[in-house]
Structure 1
Amino acid sequence: MGQEIIRRESPIEPGRRSRLWIYEDVIHVLKNNNGTKIVEGIMLNIPIQKVEHLSAEAFSKMKNLRLLKINSEKLPEDFINGSMQLPKDLIRGKVQLPQGLIYLSNELHLLEWHGYHLKCIPTNFQLNKLVELRMHCSGIKQLWNGKMNLDKLRLIDLSDSQNLIEMPDLSGAPKLKQLIFRHCTRLYKIHTSLGDLKQLIRLDLNGCKCLKSLPHKISLEALEIFDLGGCSRLKKFPEIFGNMSCLSKLCLSETAIKDLPLSVEHLIGLIELDLRDCKNISTLSNACCHLMSLKILTLSGCSKLDELPENLGNIKGLEKLDVSGTAITGLPLSIVYLKNLEVLSLRGCVGLSSKSFKSS
């Protein structure tokens, strides 16, 4: 019924409707540049193997556009399962802008554009009303220069944007809650303004293989999830400064870190610590034994780790401990105090002997 109400706004010309979601209608409006200020929302799903070319002025007349979503249709299950082959350059549908893009509405609240291939967003586009920015698999190299007024911005997701090299100045986005740069493999520079994000809940840098360092100190008091898994060049985890009691999950798997700072003991709300495949870790900091909320500790694949802290038993709430594939030759006597331990994985610990399990 709602769709019919929208259609009746302009039965003949879709460019005079407030919302556009039918593929043929959206393409008609964008290719003929006959959108109007009446259009407030556009949702476009590009069919697989389809490439649509738009002019630089495709959105120039839609001054009140508040929602723009351009995505590719999902791949068929047969392709995902490996039983179907498609040409690599035409696997997913996409929009091409041969002359670039000169305009986007300053009224945009949500911008989601999968495969946006340009290196930046229009320089005259004001982001002060934007709430969510999602641009997976984009060609963006740098989002913006300098400080922007982003008071309403809550989420930035640039996952799989292979050309992104640095995180922009985020000091103008004090209410940002989620910052997601998963698999941005060329990202190497983190702006110091990251430490100003007092409302940030999720920070996801998983798979950022060129990332070598983070700010020396962090104090993200609202942070709940911090994912650095797969940051294979990251050698040092920053000092914890101030209150970060909300952090419940810290993933450092496959990083190059050698140890954790003593200040990690301030993460009093930490539930899960993932150090899987950290090949440079040879000892586990005693500070970890002060994490009384910890339930899951994953150390599998830490091939240089040859012992566990003697006071490991202090982590009374620990439920799962995975040390498979490590070089440990024994277990600390205090392990008998882990009354809540449900899973203990020792697979591949070739240095262990039966004597290792004798208690005092």
Structure 2
Amino acid sequence: MAMVVFATLFSQFESSCFMENARAMTEKHGISYVRDKLISELLDDENLHDGPSIVSGSTFAMRRLGRKKVLIVLDDVSHSKHLDSLAKECGSLGPGSRVIITTRDKQVLDGRVNEIHEAKALGDHESLQLFCFKAFHKDHPEIGYEELSERAVAYAKGIPLALTVLGSYLHSKTTKNGKGTDAIESITFDMSQIKEVSLSADAFKNMPNLRSLELYSRSPKSCANLPSGLESFCDRLGYFYKDFFPLESLPASTFCLQNAVEIHMKYNHVTKLWDGVQDFVNLKVVDLHGSSQLMELPDFSKAQNLEYIVLSLCSKCLETLMVANCGSLEEFSLLSEKITDLDLSTTKIEILHPSIGRLRKLEGLSLNGSKLKNLPINELCCLTTLGKLNFYDCGHLIDKPKLHILFNALHSLQELYLEECSSLAELPDNISASSSLHHLSLSGSSVKSLPASIKHLSKLEIIKLRECRRLRSVPELPPFITYLDATDCTSLETAFITPSTYSKGSCLLVNCMKLDEHSLYGIMINSYFAMMRCLCFDESLVHFFDAVCYRGRTVPMWFGNNRTANSSIAIQLAPHFHNSLGFVISVIVSEFTSNISFRSLFEDRRTFKLYYRFHLEEGEEISEATDWLYCSPLHPDFSKSDHVLLWYEPCRICLPDTTKNTGYV
């Protein structure tokens, strides 16, 4: 439409310039480039554009421009600041000059122009001109194409996009140089004055280089019917803009947006964008402002160039936002109070907007590897439903005073991850205020001790202290611990382990070389009581008990005579062994260094293979074999000392009450 206006008026002026796609040109080259290009074309002097900003400040050039009657058409201007900059440098135009600006945003023009006209469907004459410009690169039909041109104009009904597509398609059929629709890279269509338009898949088949499709409108009453079979251009499409998108999702069979850089879908009807994880390596911008029906967002973990997400006014149904590993993401806008899970791990976001305090239904917040400059503690204290808080590798953000405030406020907190927080040396005494805490992970942190009040956390079951190399003591713990891992706590000297500390699960103290004998004795005694419960009293514990590991070279004394230095042992079973649940096994792992990494544990496994042979009174034998992967819950490096391994092995054979003895290897 802008081209039609320019073609109609340019002959009335001494000089003219049609600046097509000003927005894209400004984003690519900058406003200085656009300004210099504009003035050089108006003065018809290529030398003025030889270097950067040569025109700016040139009195001679400005005087020449001030004596000319010029026509300027700036097509698709996106920011008012660009207009202000151009007006400052090019404000002195000759008498009778005219500047025409097209934009999608009316506010860009407010207070800066004499008149504002809203675009409407083209009349027959303007439609014919636009069609001919696209088909023949002139304002009238070629000889022999008059009737065809009139039919095309009547079919398009004044819609610029339809005229552009039809004209370009005809041009591809009539030119000899192979151009035409192949050269179309961008289509922009304002649907504000149109109720409905259907886009034909055939029209896009000859646009293999289409990179940008924009269908914008100020009214939800405008409808663009998107056909199936658009794969031919969608696999190259980098910019997609569609207001009031009518579907509930982007159909996988229609939209192949693996090369998408920007997706703008304001005020749409989608409940979700797509299923699964898409490899959008180029994706930088996602704008879903006003998506009131949005219920879930896709996994953006592979969109590592993602920089900006807009979710404002997505307030009805959206519950989960996961942008973990989007290493380029620096900001996002979010006002949905329905969010239950927010994952901002390893992003470049530096500031959490205060509106996060209004997420009253938030249950999970992950800030792993965060680049935040500060932590909005007061806002986080408002998240009273928060059950999971992850500060992995956030040593610059979290410290004892901040944790003190959070513990007083977050009474629903069940899982707290403070791993690799190297600046965290101490936990506050009021940790007991988080009475719902179930899982506490401090692995890799700089904590030197745990507060004595930790024993009052009656729901705490899992404590991970792996590689807390400054930790010197473990106090009395709550009575229902199922998993304690203090592997590689090389400074650990005392551990207050009693029979009430843990009754099931694992207690791993690998390479704790400074652990005193009193603590080791307590661990051994506690293991005895725990395993006896598994053997004789509580069948429900069988599936929970895993292993105990600590520094040592002797099988516990409570094994009595059922021990050997060989690879097999024969044991006379008790008369009622068939009622027992299994065996307690202890082995001494001699000092060795393993090259096994955690990633290869399941490729290079180290196991004990156990063989059972039961001899019955009638002379019958029953055999069984089983593997036990001893480095799965443990550290694969026993380079510091020999270690005692204890674990429970359930009996998988149903035995009659005539069993005499068993030998196993």
**TM-score, length of structure 2 as denominator length:** 0.39
Q: Secondary structure at the match of 1:194?
A: helix
Counterpart selection for 2:393 from 199, 213, 230: 230
Which structure has the highest helix share of the two?
Answer: 2
What is the CA deviation profile of residues 300-359 of structure 1, one whole-angstrom value per residue up to 9, with x for unaligned ones?
Answer: 1110111122xx24x011111111211111222x63331425321111111113233346
* Pairing 1:109–2:271 present: yes
State the Cα distance separating 1:32 from its structure 2 match: 10
State the Cα distance separating 1:37 from its structure 2 match: 4.5
Note closer, same or farther for the CA distance 1:41–1:321 as it changes in structure 2 (3 Å cut).
farther
How far apart, CA to CA, are the structure 1 residues paired with 2:396 and 2:230?
A: 39
State the Cα distance separating 1:296 from its structure 2 match: 0.7
Counterpart selection for 2:425 from 244, 258, 261: 258
Residues 214, 242 of structure 2: 8 Å contact kept:
no
Q: Which amino acid aligns with 2:447?
A: I
Residues 336, 359 of structure 2: 8 Å contact kept:
yes
How far apart, CA to CA, are the structure 2 residues paired with 1:281 and 1:222?
A: 27
1:275 is matched with 442
How far apart, CA to CA, are the structure 2 residues paired with 1:40 and 1:259?
A: 61
State the Cα distance separating 1:96 from its structure 2 match: 3.4
1:177 is matched with 340
Note closer, same or farther for the CA distance 1:43–1:292 as it changes in structure 2 (3 Å cut).
farther
Residues 384, 411 of structure 2: 8 Å contact kept:
yes
Alignment of 1:119-138 (within 5 A): 119-122=284-287, 125-134=289-298, 135-138=300-303
Residues 174, 199 of structure 1: 8 Å contact kept:
yes
Residues 182, 204 of structure 1: 8 Å contact kept:
yes
State the Cα distance separating 1:116 from its structure 2 match: 6.4
How far apart, CA to CA, are the structure 1 residues paired with 2:411 and 2:361?
A: 13
**TM-score, length of structure 1 as denominator length:** 0.68
* Pairing 1:215–2:413 present: no
Counterpart selection for 1:338 from 469, 492, 501: 501
Q: Which amino acid aligns with 1:318?
A: I
How far apart, CA to CA, are the structure 2 residues paired with 1:196 and 1:60?
A: 30
Note closer, same or farther for the CA distance 1:219–1:106 as it changes in structure 2 (3 Å cut).
same
Residues 415, 438 of structure 2: 8 Å contact kept:
yes
How far apart, CA to CA, are the structure 2 residues paired with 1:346 and 1:205?
A: 29
Q: Secondary structure at the match of 1:193?
A: helix
**Higher relative contact order (CA closer than 8 Å, sequence separation 6+):** 1
Report the aligned-residue RMSD: 4.0
State the Cα distance separating 1:103 from its structure 2 match: 4.7
State the Cα distance separating 1:212 from its structure 2 match: 5.3
How far apart, CA to CA, are the structure 2 residues paired with 1:183 and 1:260?
A: 25
Residues 212, 235 of structure 1: 8 Å contact kept:
no
How far apart, CA to CA, are the structure 1 residues paired with 2:258 and 2:480?
A: 49
Note closer, same or farther for the CA distance 1:213–1:304 as it changes in structure 2 (3 Å cut).
farther
Q: Which amino acid aligns with 1:132?
A: E
Q: Which amino acid aligns with 2:435?
A: I
Q: Which has the larger radius of gyration?
A: 2
Percent of aligned pairs with the same amino acid: 20
How far apart, CA to CA, are the structure 1 residues paired with 2:367 and 2:230?
A: 28
How far apart, CA to CA, are the structure 1 residues paired with 2:427 and 2:244?
A: 52
Note closer, same or farther for the CA distance 1:152–1:356 as it changes in structure 2 (3 Å cut).
closer
Q: Secondary structure at the match of 2:499?
A: helix
**Where in structure 1 are there 5+ consecutive unaligned residues?**
1-14, 18-24, 45-50, 72-92
Alignment of 1:338-357 (within 5 A): 338-357=501-520
Counterpart selection for 1:64 from 246, 262, 268: 246
Note closer, same or farther for the CA distance 1:221–1:235 as it changes in structure 2 (3 Å cut).
closer
Counterpart selection for 1:192 from 347, 351, 354: 354
How far apart, CA to CA, are the structure 2 residues paired with 1:62 and 1:41?
A: 18
Note closer, same or farther for the CA distance 1:188–1:358 as it changes in structure 2 (3 Å cut).
same
Residues 70, 114 of structure 1: 8 Å contact kept:
no
1:52 is matched with 235
* Pairing 1:205–2:367 present: yes
Q: Which amino acid aligns with 1:216?
A: I
Q: Secondary structure at the match of 2:498?
A: helix
Counterpart selection for 1:287 from 433, 436, 453: 453
1:325 is matched with 488
